[in-house]
Amino acid sequence: MKYKNIDSALRNFGHSFVSLMNYVDGEYICDELLAAARSATNNEIRIDFSASAPPLGSSNQLAKSFDHWKAWLPKLLESQNVLPHSVGAVLLRYRLTRMGREVIVEATDDRGQPHKVFVHD
């Protein structure tokens, strides 16, 4: 187990989730995230991958993608020499700012150490 790999794994997860490779039922999930953030009062959507379901009001495509990526997350962590049970809740924040979109992935490890990575294009 390498705690230093957690940030890298979170960044990889975030990149994959918001990339054009995340395509469900004819829709790009990045477009679904953009629409959801625009309709949110604070221009931000939070997706907690430790939750049993995606955020309320999510489209069917976003819900399907959530289920797929939630199931894949432990495999990604293991592939990067991180024990899945050593990482707490993984939260992806997609928000709109004056400069464009901002994607942040956060988690806390089993030592109580917070991890926060910014996903850049």
Task: Please count the residues of the chain.
Answer: 121
Domain chopping of the chain, boundaries: 3-119
Provide CB contacts within 8 A for 100, sequence distance 6+. Answer: none
**Whole-model pTM?**
0.92
Give dist(CA 25, CA 11) in Å, integer. 25
- The predicted pLDDT at position 31 comes to 94
Q: What does each of the 121 residues of the chain score in pLDDT, given as a tens digit? A: 889 999 999 999 999 999 999 999 999 999 999 999 999 989 999 999 999 888 878 889 999 999 999 999 999 999 999 999 999 999 999 999 999 999 999 999 999 999 999 998 6
- The predicted pLDDT at position 8 comes to 97
- CA angle at residue 22 from 56 to 55, to 5 degrees? 10
